[in-house]
Chain A
Amino acid sequence: MIKDFLKGLWKENPIFVQVLGMCPTLAVTTKALFGLSMGLATTFVVVSSSVVISVVRNFVPRQVRIPIFTVIIATFVTAADYFLKANFFQISKALGPYIPLIVVNCVILGRAEAFASKNKVGRSFLDALGMGVGFTAALIVLGAIREILGAGTVFGIHIMWKGFTNWIVMVLPAGAFITLGLLVGVFNVVDQKMKTGRKIAKG
């Protein structure tokens, strides 16, 4: 069971391995805080919709499962959007249309179709939570790198030395592609090293 949770963090990380949900990944990670907020909102949606879909999976006629999953996902997205607007107004303003757009984040429908619609509630919950945490962690890393190089701060705290020239390109869309590409590369190198290491250990 614990494997259901852990696979989202590394082996099947939604961003670095599955390369899903690229729209929010590239668009909102100009700051670490935005990455964290988007990650948490997405985690909330993927966990709640996976649990509900897992509960109703035996009642849903196969022919209409996709529309029903979409309605369930959209309900939670709308709830998350209103909740942020009511309680975290500034963050909601900064993330703009990308919160409602969680509806079309393929990480969520992907989990619903590939896992929650075939597995029991407990496992679906852990699977979704793992994916959510993996997604959030990746967004924070991406956001932190772009914020440090692009604005000299992380989570709004100044950390670069005085006279550091901000690399404006990092907070522009091009910076998102550059950072993501390099991170996926680094991820794969580390992953390969770990795999060969394991093989050698096994003999």
Chain B
Amino acid sequence: MKKTYGLIAAFDSTPALYHACEQVRDAGFKQWDALTPFPVHGLDAAMGIKRSKVPRISICGGIAGFTTGMTFIWWANSFEYPLVVGGKPYFSPMFAFPVSYELTILFTAFATIIGMFVVNGLPMHYHPVQKAPQFVRALDDRFFIVIEANDPKFNATETRALLARIGGQDIAELEE
């Protein structure tokens, strides 16, 4: 027998989804999600999602980039082969700044994108919700709420009733 992944319910408009999310949040669910074709303004608060952790990874990338630039230029022009140009000092943070600045941005960009993928658990080319026939509209014009079966508050009949009460349509069970 196939295991149940959870329940999916569809919503036709952004306000309907927004208010439904508030109610799922207030019902105390933790393992659940909303699928939307575009980022809905303020939905994070309605779902009770905390601020993203991506910036912490970005700042590490930025610091690493700046340090790499400064260290490498010091090493190349002042340590590995001290280079005399116009009687200027072997190393100064002034002339090393532009390259370090660019590397700060470059490393921040990579850290941000890799961080976003890691935090999101992507790439994930297979996911139970993608098997549902209604999913084709999730990235088009419809909104969905998915409540997972492994949420401690999940109960097949009660959760289905909750989704129906908050306005969910075409409620269906998802297979693992």
User: Are A and B genuine complex partners?
Assistant: no
Measuring CB to CB, which residues of chain B are less than 8 angstroms from any residue of chain A? Answer: none
